[in-house]
Structures are given as structure tokens and as C-alpha cells.
Structure 1
Amino acid sequence: MNTPTLRYSAFTTDPSGGNPAGVVLDARAMSDADMQRIATQVGYSETAFLLPRSDGAFDIRYYSPLAEVSFCGHATIAATVAHAERYGPGERLLHTRAGQVRVFVDEALMVTLVSVQPQVVPLGAGDLDRILAALGWRSDELDPALPPALAYAGAWHPVIFTATRARLAQLDYDFDALAALMAQRAWTTVNLVWRESAQTFHARNPFPPGGVVEDPATGAAAAALGAYLAVHDALPAQRAFTIHQGDDLGRPSRLAVAVPQDPRAGIRVGGTAVKIEAS
């Protein structure tokens, strides 16, 4: 098997920033076990495996170092940029385990993905208590204007708003306790957010189910946040905003999110990616 595994960092133009992802552009000859082995060897939060179809679309699989995940935004951005560098810009249709995702790439290799239909549902009080206990956070440190909830745009994420940037900066959680809860509930990351302004949000995403302490940029969670804000009537007038993520890890990432008037049409998440050269 001679298919190379590429390495790109998404939601950044600097290889030392963003969220790294492995990319395999043609995985049709690979088994599930092959993909999992490669993702484990690469060690990034996700590796994306493209499987070109006869109709011009792609099947795509995403693996963390520990398990397959249904959808991954940053690996989608990375894989699409890698493919566009070789085959040109344009639209790609990706068949993910979560559903169809359309991706648009312009001449500057800026990518916009359109999520599957989102959902937002309540987060049970018991689950919130367990999350806060694992984080070492108190309920009075949360933003009372933006209540905790579960949001989905390809993967499920608890969305929890803190009242201050200082609280968000202090993240030292019980890995095993949070991992156990997230495995029970089939959550991908916990999206911890602080609202700086109507157009600017800061986020951190613990990712223990993938064997990763924290994700520097989480496209699926960004899309889920867009759905959450729409449901809670908390979007800015232009229905678009920016997420700052990865700053506390020294890997700054910027995610652009746009929400259509009917969010059921899919949340737009935009960014680019840059190749990580082999050392």
C-alpha cells in the first residue's frame, strides 16, 4: 500500500497554528483496520480518508487515534485543500457517515463546507453537573444569558458558555471522568465558549473520546454553535461570526461561520489549510 499520508493544518495559514489533520487522498484500497492504524500512527485528532466515487463525488471517513468519528470539520477543510491543490478549485460532494456535505473551494483555496441539517436539544441537568464536576467549574461561572444545550451539525456537542474569558483560559479537567461520560452519550467534543461580542466568540473543545486532551479547531462544533445561536436568537444581524480557538494552546485558529435564514439548509463553516512539511 503506497498511498501517502499527507499532513495539513486547518483554519490557519501558518503550519504552526490551526488544527493538524492527516489526509489520504485515495483510500479505496484500505480496510477499516488500515485506516485506524494510520490514524493512530499519525496521532492527530483526526485523519481524513477520501474514497473517490465513479459519479465524481467522494466517500470520506474520519478516524481519531482511538476510533472512527461520524464527521470532522477541520479534517474536511484539510482534505479539500489538499485535493484542490492537485486538481483545482470547485465544488465537492462528500458522503460522510453523518450525511452529505457540500464543500466549495475558491481560487485562493478558501473552503466553505455546508453541514448536514443541524439539531439543538436540551442538556440534562444531571449531565451538566457531571460535565462541570469533571471540568472543576461552578454553575455560577456560566453565562446566564446562554443556557447549556446539546447541538449537532454532523456530531453531537454539549455547548456551555462561560461568563468570562479568564474562566475559559483555565482548563485542567478530569480526563477519565469526562471521557467516560462522553462515551456513554456519544458526544464528540464539549464546546466551551465565551462570547466576546455578537460577532466574536472564543472556544475550547476537550476531546477525550479521540484520545486528545483538546482540539485546537473544531469545525463540527463551530457548525453546531451556529445552530445553537440561531435557536437562542443570539446571532448578529448579518448571521455570521468568527470563532477564535486554539489560542490557549499556542495554535491560533480562526473559523468563519454563517447561518442561513433557514438553518435546516446547513450551517456554513469556512477556512483554509496549509501543508505541514515533513521535518
Structure 2
Amino acid sequence: MKVKAYTINSFAKTSLGGNGAGVVLDADYLSDEEMQKIAAVLGFSETAFVLNSNLADFKVRFFTPSEEVDLCGHATIGTFFTMGTLGYIKPGNYLQETKAGILGVEIKEDQSIMMSQPLPVFFETIDKSEIADSLNIEIANIHEDLPVQIVSTGLRDIIVPIKNLDVLYSIKPDFKKIFEISRRYSAVGYHVFSLETINFSTACCRNFAPLFGIPEESATGTSNGALGCYLYKYGKINFGQTSNIIIEQGYAMKKPSEIFVSLAVEGEKITGVKVGGRALNLSSIEIDIE
């Protein structure tokens, strides 16, 4: 059976940047096994499959090369950019049914995409020495005023604050240790960041998720939603900055990416989370699966 899929670079800052995703439209006829095979053949960190929904405008399922996950930010951006570019949908607001809930997606006139994420949940903090060891850095290189903490806006991420940009770029992770720690804490992986940046952004980050077969990811939607909430909770962004959080990612991989985060805040409480960006390099491919 031949299946048409699309490939797209989400959150791309330049034509060489962003995070590649696969998109399969009109996927209702595919079995779970076939979706998994397609995701494995495409080899992206996530591939999105668009189906009919009785609860929202679309149902979207997300598969890594090895398993299904509840939500993927960059694949959502890629999916709605693809549908908009191909004329399936026009600029406006839509709802997608995911395993993380029914979430809003906005397509703007400039074809940038903003997606709603679940409200943040702040889980346990983790001993910094354990994390430093797995990153092959000294514990002194982890920010002394900020915790290592699991935060979720749909997926559990271990947020790791690093003192400066030089240390962030020098990290050579022990992926076996990160795999074991991520599994122990039921987390997707590490989202490691510095408040020092390249382009006067809010933060610069790297993302390691070997538990899901992703040594490093160049742009991560859900993790940066969690990071934005973390930065607000710990006073690193103020009320006036919550609608314009800009995160750099992928520079260590020579894949420059830019992720926008917007928080709705009432008092000290976060009442809404949106993550978005732009996409480039849409193309199609035909896959033959047995």
C-alpha cells in the first residue's frame, strides 16, 4: 500500500533550521500498526496523522519512530501549516483532539501557527548532582537560584537551568544515564536552558530525549511551553513579558529554530499557554508499506 506523506520543518528560523516532522492527512483508513510503520520509515522524531473527529475539527495522533505519544508541538505546527498551505483550511481558529485533550490552534494571516497547550503542572524537583553527572558537567554549572524540576504542559519534561551559554553549548550528554533518569521519573527527557542567548531572546535551550530515540531535538513545542511557565513561576519573566516569550533552540545542531510562547496570566496564576512559530520547506513523499 502506498501512502502520501508530507515533510515540513517547524519552528524554522532559517531554511536550514527548525525541526522536521511528518504529516499524513486523511489517515482514518490506516491502522495503528501502519501509522507506526510510516513514522518509522520517515524517521522524524514525530509524525502526525490527521483523522476525523466527533469532538473537534480534527483528531491528530502523534507517533515517534518507536511509539505513540500524547502530544507534539512541532508536529502540530507542521500539520496545520501543511493543511493551510494546501488549502484544506483558512486562517482562523480550530480545535484538535489529541490524547492530551482538545486543544486550540490558531492559523494567522502570515501562516504562523499558535497552539494551545494544557495548563502547567509542576511536579517534583530533582537532585542537581544526579543531573549534572548525566550531563558531564560540574554541579556548579547548574544555576544556583533555580531548581531542576519536572514541568508538564502536556508532557513531563525535566527542566534544567544552566549558568551560561558557553556551558550549555559544551554539554556532551551521557545518553544512557539520561535514558535511565527519564524512565525513572516518567519524563520525556531533559530540557536544558540558559538565560544567556544569541539573539536577545528570552532563553536558549537544548533538548535531550533518548528514552524516545531522540538524542537531541532542534525545536520542541511542548517543552518550551513548560519552560515558559517555569520562567514565569520563578520570576525570570515579568507580567509584561508573558505574551512575547521567544526561545532559541537548535543552534548547537546548526538548525536554528525559534519558538514563540504566550502565557495568559491572572494575578500570579497561569490561565492559558500557547506555543507557536513558523514552518518552511514543505514537500511530499510517497511511502510504500506492506
Smaller-chain TM-score bracket: over 0.9
Which blocks of at least 5 consecutive residues in structure 2 are unaligned? 286-290
TM-score (norm 1): 0.92
Q: Deviations over 1:57-102 (max 9, x none)?
A: 1111111112211111101100010011122222121111111210
Q: Deviations over 1:218-246 (max 9, x none)?
A: 00011001111222122133213211100
User: Residue in 1 aligned with 2:203?
Assistant: 201
| Residue type of the alignment partner of 1:140 | A
CA distance in 2, matches of 1:26, 1:2: 14
Q: Secondary structure at the match of 1:154?
A: coil
User: Residue in 2 aligned with 1:232?
Assistant: 234
Runs ≥4 residues deviating over 4 A = none
Aligned-pair distance for 1:201?
0.5
User: Residue in 2 aligned with 1:156?
Assistant: 156
User: Residue in 1 aligned with 2:253?
Assistant: 249
Higher mean C-alpha deviation, range 56-65 or range 157-166: 56-65
The alignment's C-alpha RMSD in Å is 1.9
CA distance in 2, matches of 1:199, 1:173: 24
Is it true that 1:266 corresponds to 2:272 in the alignment? yes
Q: Secondary structure at the match of 1:5?
A: strand
Aligned-pair distance for 1:40?
0.8
| Residue type of the alignment partner of 1:98 | A
Which blocks of at least 5 consecutive residues in structure 1 are unaligned? none
Q: Secondary structure at the match of 1:267?
A: strand
Q: Secondary structure at the match of 2:265?
A: coil
2:111 to 104, 109, 129: 109
User: Residue in 1 aligned with 2:135?
Assistant: 135
Q: Secondary structure at the match of 2:189?
A: coil
Query: What is the aligned-residue identity percentage?
Result: 29
User: Residue in 1 aligned with 2:288?
Assistant: none
CA distance in 2, matches of 1:55, 1:146: 40
Aligned-pair distance for 1:276?
4.0
Q: Deviations over 1:6-54 (max 9, x none)?
A: 0000011644210000011221111111111111111111111111225
CA distance in 1, matches of 2:15, 2:284: 11
Q: Secondary structure at the match of 2:39?
A: helix
Higher mean C-alpha deviation, range 86-95 or range 231-240: 231-240
User: Residue in 1 aligned with 2:165?
Assistant: 165
Aligned runs of 1:89-100 on 2, under 5 Å? 89-100=91-102
CA distance in 1, matches of 2:27, 2:271: 30
Higher strand share: 2
Aligned residues: 277
Q: Deviations over 1:156-201 (max 9, x none)?
A: 1111111111110012212222112212322113110000279520
Q: Does the 8 A contact of 1:169 with 1:248 survive in 2?
A: yes
Q: Secondary structure at the match of 2:8?
A: strand
CA distance in 1, matches of 2:184, 2:271: 30
Q: Does the 8 A contact of 1:21 with 1:47 survive in 2?
A: yes
CA distance in 1, matches of 2:203, 2:13: 20
Q: Deviations over 1:80-127 (max 9, x none)?
A: 1001112222212111111121000012111111111211123232xx
CA distance in 2, matches of 1:28, 1:15: 32
CA distance in 1, matches of 2:153, 2:76: 14
